Structure 1
C-alpha cells in the first residue's frame, strides 16, 4: 500500500470502501483507513488558498476592495476549517465502523435482502442491520404498545403470603383457605346481593319502626351475606380443585394454592364441602328455602357446568354470566320473602308482581361480565389457547370485541328499567348513564383496535370500577329515599304518608266527620 497515494492494487482506498460489497468490507484494515486520514491533503477554502501576505497585497492594490473586504472577513474562515475537520472526523469514524463490522452471512442476501442482486452494492440503509427499516420501526412501535398482563389476583397474593408461614401454623391454613375462596370476586358477589336486598321497596325505610321491621331485619341480612360468601367460597374451591393441571400452564393462575402444593386435593375438597353445606344451610334457616336453592344451584352451575365447559365451547362465558346474575336475584328474593303476603313459595318470590327489580339487577350483572372478562382474557389469550380453553378471545378475536361492546350498551336500558319500574329515582338515570357511557367508550375502543394500543387495559379498569359505582348509585338513588330524608329534616310528618306513591295519594278520602282517611298498603286509619 502506498501511504502517499492511498491506493491498493491500482484502486483507491475510498473506492475500495464504498464500492465493494458488504461481504468484502471485513478484508480492509482499519489501520490503513487511519493512515489514509493522516496523509490526505485537504483543500482549503478560497479565503485561505493564498498566504496572508499575498492576500494583503491584493487588497491594498484596490482601495475600494480594501473597504469592502477587510482583514476581519478572512479571519472568520478559521471556523470553516474547524467545521470541515470535524465533519471529516465523523466521516472517518463511520468508515472505520463499517469496515470493522462482521460480515453478514451468505444466506442473508437470499432472505431478508433477497431483493438486491449480488452484482449491485447494498443500499446504505441496509449496511447496518439485516432488518428492514420499516419493519424495525413497526416492531419498536408494537413493543412500546404491547399489553402487559394485569396484576395478580388476591388468590395469588394470598398464596405467596401463605408460603412464607410455617407449614403447620393455623395462620397458613386460614390464609390458604381464603385464597381458595377468591376473596375479591366473592366480595363483589356479596356486594351485589346486599345491594339488591337494600333496593327492595320497603314502606318504612326511615321510620322509627325500622329496627323492628322484618323486611329490613339485620339478622336476615347477616345470614344472607354470610351464606352467599360461603357458597361463593365453595364454588371457587371446586373450580380450582377440578383444573390444577391447566392452572399451572397460565401466568394468571399458576400461583394458586393447589398448583403450589400449599394444600392437597383432600383438604381442598373438605373445605369446599364444608363451605357449601354451611352456606346453603345459613340461607335455608336464616333467609328462606328459595334463596337457599339459588345458592346451591349457583355452586352446581359454576363447578359442574361452567368449569368443564371452558374446554368444550366458547359458550362457557355465557354460562358463567348466568352464574354471576343469580346473586342479586338472591338478595331481592330474600327481601321479598320477608314481606310476602301469600304463602311465600318460589313462584311468588321469583315471578310475583314485584319481582321485576330482581330480574333487572340480575340482567345488569349478566351484561357486565362480558366487557369485564373479554378484556381480562385478552393479554393472556395465547395462554388460554395453549392450555386448551375455548375462549372467544382467541377463537374469534373480532367477535370478542363485538360481544363486549354489545353487552356494554345493554347496560343503558337495564339501568333505565330500574327507574321505569320505580326502583330508583330519576337521578339514577343520569348518574348511571355517565358511568355506562364511560364503559361503552372503552368497549368501542376495544372493538375498533382489537385489544391493542391499551384498549384492553382501559376496558378492564372501566369494568372494574363500573360495577361497584353503579351499585352504590342505585342505593343512593333508591325511590323515595331523599324525599323522606328531606321531610324529616324539615320536621314534617313521619308516618306512612311519606312512603305513599302517587296512586295511593289519589285514593285519599274523608270520613263522615270530615277527617282525612288514609289508605296505604292495605292499612287504613282515620284522624281524630
Structure 2
C-alpha cells in the first residue's frame, strides 16, 4: 500500500504541468515581494542573498535565464488589482513629468489633410476639395471673417444690413447693403485663403518639424507646390477683384496689404527675429479696418470717397478701436499658444519669445491683456455701443486678465499657458457678439426709445417739394439736415460730406 500510494502521488504530480512551471515557488516569491513593498526597511536595506545574486548577475550576465523576465512580469500580473493600481500611481508620481506633455490638438489644416488622405480613390473630387480647403486654414479664416463682419455691422448706420437701401445713383459708389455684405465676406475669405496658402507654400520643411503642422497637405505631398501656388494666386486675385467691385478700392488695398504682410513678411521673419509676433498682430488688426471702410464707403459721396476719408476722418475712430482690440488680443492668445509648443518652434528654428525669453513672453501677454479694458471703454466713449457692453466686455476681460496674471506669475507652468489660451479663444467672440448686441440704437425701435421717435419730430418743419421740381445741391443738403437728429448731423459733419443713409 505504501508503494502504491507513493507511486500514485508521484504519477499525479508528475502529470500536473503547474508543478513543472514552479507555481508554488513563484507564489511564495510573490508573497515575499508583496510584503517587501510594504516594509519600509526592505526598500533601503538589501539582504545578503540579493547582494550575492546581484553580484553574480553582474559578473555573469550571460547566465541570466530568459524566463526570469517573464517570471517577474508574471509576478506583477498576479498582484491584486488594487495593489497593481497603487504601484502604477506611485511609479507615475516618481517619474519626472514634462510640464506641458499634453499638446494642443492639431490645427484645422492638418485635420483636413488627414481626412483627405483617408478618403477612398472613388471620392477623388471630395479629396481634392478637402485638400485645397486645408490650404486656406479654415478655422483662422473664419475667425478673421468674424472680425471683419463685426466691424462692418458696428458701423453707426441703422439700416446697414437692410436690403431696402436704394441702388447707388450718380453720387454714390456702391449698391445695396446686402450685396456689399456678400462681396465683403466672399472676398475676405478668398484673400485669407491666399495668404494662408502662401504661408504654407514657403515653409513645408519647417512644418514637418512641428507636431501640430507635420500633417499639412504640402508636408504629406497631397498637393504639389505648383498646385498650391496656383491656388494661392487664384484666390488672391479673385478675392481682391470682388472686394474692389463690391465694396471700394480702399478695402481691396487693405486686403492686398494683408496678403503681402502675412505671406511675404511675417512668414520669413519667423526665422529672423522674435518681432515677427508684432507683424502678425498688425495682420490681425487690418480686417476690422476693412469691414469699417466697407461700411463707410456705402455713404461716401463721389467727392469724399478716398482712402483718407474712409480711414482718417473723425468717424473712422471706431474702426481703429476695433483694429487695436484685435492687435492687443493677438499677444495673450499667441504667446500662450507658442509657450505650449515652444519646443516645436525651437526645433523648427522659429524665433519666438516663448523659448528665447519666457519671462518677457509672459509680460507681453499680461500687458496687452490689460490694454483690452481701455480699448473696450473707448468703443463706448465713441458712441458705438451702449453701457451694457461695458458689463459684458469687463467680465470677459477680467477672465482673460486673471489667466494672464497666472501665466505671468508661473511663466507658463502649472497649466497656466493652456488656461490663458482657452480664455483668449472664448474672450474675443464673446466681446464681439456683446458689441453687436449692445450697438447704439439697436434696441430703440424695440423698446420705444427716444432716438427712434426723434427722427420724425421735425417732419412738420420740412417743406414738401413737388415731384419733378429740381433741387440745388445746397437746398437738398439743407432740407435733408432739417430731418435729422443732432446725432446724425454731427455724424455727417464728421464724415466730411458723407450723405445720410436713405
Normalized against structure 2, the TM-score is what? 0.72
Q: Secondary structure at the match of 2:273?
A: coil
Deviation of 1:483 after TM superposition, in Å, equals 2.1
Matched, 1:386 2:347: yes
**Is there any run of 5+ residues in structure 1 with no aligned partner, and where?**
1-30, 35-85, 106-135, 499-504, 524-528
Matched, 1:241 2:201: yes
Distance 1:98 1:164, change over 3 A: farther
State which of 433, 438, 452 in structure 2 corresponds to 1:477.
438
Higher Cα Rg: structure 1 or 2?
1
Asked whether the equivalents of residues 234 and 276 of structure 1 are also in contact (C-alpha less than 8 Å), the reply is yes
Asked whether the equivalents of residues 206 and 484 of structure 1 are also in contact (C-alpha less than 8 Å), the reply is no
For 1:278, the equivalent position in structure 2 comes to: 238
1:233-272 paired onto structure 2 within 5 Å: 233-272=193-232
- Superimposed CA distance per residue, residues 82-136 of structure 1 (whole angstroms, 9 cap, x where no aligned partner): xxxx99x96998778784376499xxxxxxxxxxxxxxxxxxxxxxxxxxxxxx9
Instruction: Work out the CA distance in 1 between the residues paired with 2:98 and 2:219.
Output: 33
Instruction: Work out the CA distance in 2 between the residues paired with 1:377 and 1:511.
Output: 61
Distance 1:273 1:418, change over 3 A: same
Greater Cα shift, 224-233 or 140-149: 140-149
For 1:288, the equivalent position in structure 2 comes to: 248
Asked whether the equivalents of residues 215 and 339 of structure 1 are also in contact (C-alpha less than 8 Å), the reply is no
1:90-105 paired onto structure 2 within 5 Å: 99-100=49-50, 103=54
Asked whether the equivalents of residues 161 and 181 of structure 2 are also in contact (C-alpha less than 8 Å), the reply is no
Matched, 1:452 2:410: no
Asked whether the equivalents of residues 462 and 483 of structure 2 are also in contact (C-alpha less than 8 Å), the reply is no
For 1:57, the equivalent position in structure 2 comes to: none
Deviation of 1:484 after TM superposition, in Å, equals 2.4
For 1:64, the equivalent position in structure 2 comes to: none
1:127-526 paired onto structure 2 within 5 Å: 140=94, 143=97, 146-166=100-120, 169-204=124-159, 209=164, 217-341=177-301, 342-487=303-448, 497=455, 518-520=483-485, 521=488
Higher relative contact order (CA 8 A, sep 6+): 2
Asked whether the equivalents of residues 147 and 452 of structure 1 are also in contact (C-alpha less than 8 Å), the reply is no
Distance 1:299 1:493, change over 3 A: closer
Asked whether the equivalents of residues 442 and 459 of structure 1 are also in contact (C-alpha less than 8 Å), the reply is yes
Greater Cα shift, 375-384 or 323-332: 375-384
Distance 1:212 1:271, change over 3 A: same
Deviation of 1:165 after TM superposition, in Å, equals 2.0
Instruction: Work out the CA distance in 2 between the residues paired with 1:325 and 1:423.
Output: 18
Deviation of 1:352 after TM superposition, in Å, equals 1.1
Instruction: Work out the CA distance in 2 between the residues paired with 1:416 and 1:366.
Output: 16
- Superimposed CA distance per residue, residues 63-86 of structure 1 (whole angstroms, 9 cap, x where no aligned partner): xxxxxxxxxxxxxxxxxxxxxxx9
- Superimposed CA distance per residue, residues 247-291 of structure 1 (whole angstroms, 9 cap, x where no aligned partner): 100101101000001001000001000000100000011110000
Distance 1:138 1:390, change over 3 A: farther
Q: Secondary structure at the match of 2:218?
A: helix
Aligned Cα RMSD in Å? Answer: 3.5
Instruction: Work out the CA distance in 1 between the residues paired with 2:259 and 2:124.
Output: 30
Asked whether the equivalents of residues 215 and 335 of structure 1 are also in contact (C-alpha less than 8 Å), the reply is no
Deviation of 1:386 after TM superposition, in Å, equals 1.7
- Superimposed CA distance per residue, residues 179-223 of structure 1 (whole angstroms, 9 cap, x where no aligned partner): 000000000000000000000000446999568797971110000
Deviation of 1:326 after TM superposition, in Å, equals 0.4
Distance 1:347 1:394, change over 3 A: same
Distance 1:100 1:494, change over 3 A: same
Distance 1:378 1:206, change over 3 A: closer
Distance 1:227 1:99, change over 3 A: farther
Asked whether the equivalents of residues 224 and 283 of structure 1 are also in contact (C-alpha less than 8 Å), the reply is yes
Instruction: Work out the CA distance in 2 between the residues paired with 1:382 and 1:317.
Output: 17
Instruction: Work out the CA distance in 2 between the residues paired with 1:92 and 1:271.
Output: 70
Distance 1:469 1:104, change over 3 A: farther
Q: Secondary structure at the match of 2:279?
A: helix
Instruction: Work out the CA distance in 2 between the residues paired with 1:98 and 1:337.
Output: 91
Distance 1:497 1:137, change over 3 A: farther
Instruction: Work out the CA distance in 2 between the residues paired with 1:275 and 1:426.
Output: 41
Greater Cα shift, 474-483 or 324-333: 474-483
Distance 1:519 1:288, change over 3 A: closer
1:100-115 paired onto structure 2 within 5 Å: 100=50, 103=54
Normalized against structure 1, the TM-score is what? 0.69
